[in-house]
Structures are given as structure tokens and as C-alpha cells.
Amino acid sequence: MKHYGLIGEKLGHSLSRPIHEAIFREMGIDADYRIIEIPRDSFDAQTRHLLATLDGFNVTIPYKQAVMPLLRDIDPAAEEIGAVNTVLCHAQKGFNTDAAGFMGMLRHYGIDPAKGENSYILGSGSTAKTVRACLKRMGARKVTVVSRHPQQMDEISYADFYQVFPRTGGTIVNASSAGMWPRKDEDNICAIHPSRVDEMMRYALGVADVVYNPPHTFLTKAAERAGVPWCTGLYMLVAQAVEAEVLWQGMPMPECLVEKIMKEMSIQ
């Protein structure tokens, strides 16, 4: 039996285990998958132990960048993005399967970042790095990161976003954890302030929220009210898991597997 898992700091909301177990059943793979919470002060030691004892693992917040120095090799695409979410332990090599999952999700739901001049990413963490690279690959002409604490040349504040977006319009991607269950207070229910979200939706060409729990977020509900194409991160979550299994098992997976697992788990 092979052994896999997900590492992160706080994982009570994770759906990764049932998703990978569904893949194992569908593909006849003899393996298990565990959820492994690691405190920041013991990350290096515990991760080195897992590299020696597991066959592979996924990486989530806040360790997608921190894991990179512990690995022997980084796939060029993950190196370019600057974040690793999948590790093949015997090779001690890191990959980024979030990118394939994100681009597959946008295509599946008909959100085209090449439509219009501008795309905006809400949040500036490791997920935003992946999203930015993907939007560029999919033809986005200009990508701007919206941050509470802008530091880079392509970053603006939310106050600036509220001023600029009605003039430019475009695709919006929430790459922050705002809106993830169980966050319900005004400051965390949506990256865009709740009092401004309906106004912003009037100018949106598409809205993608990488949050997958709940399956319909405050942001995507606003997009739906405005008649804007939208999606949450459920498709991305399943698609990146399938891509991880391709790497771990060294074999292709059926093209229909993502949708089949989503139907099986009733998470469409």
C-alpha cells in the first residue's frame, strides 16, 4: 500500500482526503491519504520526516513556498510560479498542480481572462502567484494584484481597486481565504467589502473564487445576481488532485474523472 497526505497548518475544512480516496476507488489504487496538520515551529523537522516515510504529499497554506528549500528538485513550472503544492517523495521533487486545476476550472465554467483588457487578483499570497501565472498563460493582457498591503509594482490597494475597476472592468479572481467557512464577520466574508461587492459586479466579465467551502461564496452569489459567469474552487480542488495522482502513480487519468468525482461527492 502507498501512503499520501496533505500538509498544512489548519486543515479542518479540507476535502482532500475524500477526493483522493474517490480517485483511489475509481482507479483501483491501493493507497491511503491522511490529513497532517503541522505547526509552523516544527515544519522543517516534520516535513523532512514525511519526505522519508510517505510516497507523496500535497501542500497547502501556509507552506507552498516554505517547502521548496527542503526539496532536492523543483519542476520548472513550479519554480517559475514560486509555489509547490505537490511533492513526489522518492525524488524529493516539487510540482505545482494548482495551475492545471485553475486553468481547467476557468475553461470548464466559460471564464476567459483574454476577454477584456484587465484581470484582477484579490490577495497576494502563494495562491495569487499561481493565479497570476495562469491568467497570463490564458491570454490576460494586464494582471493587477489587489492587496491590503501593496508592495510590488503590479499591486494596488482595495481603495484604488474600488476607484479603478468601474473604469476598466475585467475578470476578478479571489485568491485569498476571505469567505472560507466558517468566516462570517464583515472583514472576512469577502475580499471586496460587502458594501461594495454588488457595485463591482456590474463591471465584471467573470468571477472565480478559489475558496471551495462553502461551495457558493458571498462573492460568487453577488456574481450570480449580476448575471456574471462564476465559479468557486471545487473544480480546481478536484482537478489539481487528479493531476497530483498522475504524478504520483506515473500514469494518465481519464479526462472525465474530475466531473465523475464531483458528481459522486455531490459537490458540483
The whole-number pLDDT of residue 183 equals 66
pLDDT in tens, 118-164: 999 999 988 899 999 999 999 999 999 999 999 888 899 999 999 99
In this structure, what C-alpha cell is assigned to residue 27?
482507479
Catalytic residue list contains 64: yes
Q: Please check the confidence at residue 268 and state whether its pLDDT lies above 60.
A: no
The catalytic residue among 64, 129, 221, 260 is 64
Q: Please check the confidence at residue 265 and state whether its pLDDT lies above 80.
A: no
pLDDT in tens, 178-204: 888 776 665 689 999 999 999 999 999
Pairing state between β 56-59 and 2-8:
parallel
Listed residue (197, 262, 245, 266) closest to 97, CA to CA: 245
Contacts of 56 by beta carbon, 8 Å cutoff, 6+ apart: 2, 4, 86, 87, 88, 89, 244, 247, 248
Contacts of 214 by beta carbon, 8 Å cutoff, 6+ apart: 179, 181, 232
The whole-number pLDDT of residue 264 equals 82
Q: Higher pLDDT residue, 12 or 27?
A: 27
Q: Higher pLDDT residue, 255 or 137?
A: 137
In this structure, what C-alpha cell is assigned to residue 9?
497548518
Q: Please check the confidence at residue 249 and state whether its pLDDT lies above 60.
A: yes
pLDDT in tens, 21-55: 999 999 999 999 999 999 999 999 999 999 999 99
Q: Please check the confidence at residue 16 and state whether its pLDDT lies above 80.
A: yes
Q: Is the dihedral of CA 116, 215, 130, 124 positive or negative?
A: positive
The whole-number pLDDT of residue 236 equals 95
pLDDT in tens, 65-90: 999 999 999 999 999 999 999 999 99
| Alpha carbon distance 222, 65 (integer Å) | 32
